[in-house]
Amino acid sequence: MAPFGGIFPIAPTAFSASGDLDLASQRRVVDYLIAAGVDGICILANYSEQFSLADAERDTLTTTIIDHVAGRVPVIVTTSHYGTRIAAERSRRAEAAGAAMVMVMPPYHGATLRVAEQEIRDHYAAIADATSIPIMVQDAPMSGTVLTAAFLARLAREVPQVAYFKLEHGVAADKLRALVALGGDAIAGPFDGEESITLLADLAAGATGTMPGCTTIDVLRRTWDLWHAGDIAGATAEYERGVPLIIYENKLCGLMATKALMAEGGILASEAPRHPYRPLSPEIRAGLVAMARRLDLLVLRWAA
């Protein structure tokens, strides 16, 4: 099987205004992303408000989404937890539901609880023992854990299922380049994240996948295709059209950018996050929508 790569956006979790799961909206999210031309979908990540979900809700969402995708694209399920046993069991259940891969942050809790490299290695090894699908390490600022390129390359060699890496911490392009050089064939998929905010530099460094939010999928699709067709100038021009919105999302909106634009476009019935996460202020939301309309983004037109 060919390695997974391309555009794998983080799907939002759809909630009603009262905070319940909205599975009808969730299915529309899936259909929109596939219509937009994504190569796969990642669910239950930080941008999916995974930190606000009970495990029973995680199972409901995993089953609902994978069943609705129905094999049209691969689905990556985030199964992070500080507890190794819980992360392994979440991963086992995700595979049983049909996940193509699991994505896992290194174990951490709160602002101060971190673990050493040996325990991180053993954490991922236990998840590999519980599953037979690929594992992606999410090197995210939220974990507060320093994962060097040398350690990640060693982890890939020692635990072969750990072959994918989403690098968002520090200068992603430099770490991607170092990881590819150090890991060689053990690295099946070096990805970037952070709303694809450094995509062109990361592609030049060897990235084979990206995990953005869902706001600029059509811009990123064209950018990706132009780059891989050898039209670097065209890819750069297309990407630069979307950069102001990507920066606005990254610096001012966070996960709420996707929810606001999907609600504005009729994909989500409600853009509500789950309390206590704060919704966008009216002023920030208005600026986001205005930028999206100037770009004529598909997220505002697809459900019309």
The 3-state secondary structure of 248-260 reads HHHHHHCCHHHHH
Q: Return the exposure string of 186-215: e unless at least 16 CB atoms fall within 10 Å of the residue's CB, then b.
A: bbbbbbbbbbbbbbbbbbebebbbbbbbbb
- The predicted-structure confidence for 281-296, as pLDDT tens digits, reads as follows 999 999 999 999 999 9
Share of the chain above pLDDT 90, in %: 97
Q: Is the pLDDT at 197 greater than 80, yes or no?
A: yes
Does 1 score more than 80 pLDDT?
no
245 assigned to some structural domain: yes
Residue 169's pLDDT is what? 82
Residue 187 clears pLDDT 80, i.e. is over it: yes
Distance CA 165, CA 56 (A): 27
d(CA 81, CA 85): 9
Residues with Cβ within 8 Å of 245's Cβ and at least 6 positions away in sequence, in order, are 215, 216, 288, 291, 292, 295, 297
Q: Is the per-residue pLDDT at 170 higher than 80?
A: no
Q: How many domains is the chain built from?
A: 1
Question: Is 229 part of a structural domain of the chain?
Answer: yes
Residue range 206-216: average pLDDT? 98
Check pLDDT > 90 for residue 182. yes
Q: Given this model, what pLDDT does residue 2 score?
A: 86
Q: At what angle do helices 84-97 and 55-69 cross, to 10 degrees?
A: 30
Residue 226 has pLDDT above 90, yes or no: yes
Would you say residue 294 lies in a domain? yes
134 found inside a domain: yes
Domain annotation covers residue 150? yes
Query: Residue 293 sits in which domain range?
Result: 6-300
Residue 227 has pLDDT above 90, yes or no: yes
Q: How many CB atoms lie within 10 A of CB 158?
A: 13
Residue 1 lies in a domain: no
- Give the chain's end-to-end CA distance (angstroms, integer): 37
Say if CB 178 and CB 188 are below 8 A apart. Answer: no
143 pLDDT band, cuts 50/70/90, is very high
Instruction: Quote the crossing angle between the two packed helices 232-248 and 217-228, to the nearest 10°.
Output: 160
CATH classification of the domain holding 189: 3.20.20.70
Confidence of residue 256 (pLDDT cuts 50, 70, 90): very high
Residue 86 lies in a domain: yes
The answer to whether residue 136 is domain-embedded is yes
How buried is 61 (Cβ within 10 angstroms: 0-12 exposed, 13-18 middle, 19+ buried)? buried
The mean per-residue pLDDT over the stretch 162-173 comes to 93
Q: Is 166 a catalytic residue?
A: yes
pLDDT of residue 293: 98
pLDDT in tens, 94-142: 999 999 999 999 999 999 999 999 999 999 999 999 999 999 999 999 9
Annotated active-site residue in 166, 175, 251, 259: 166
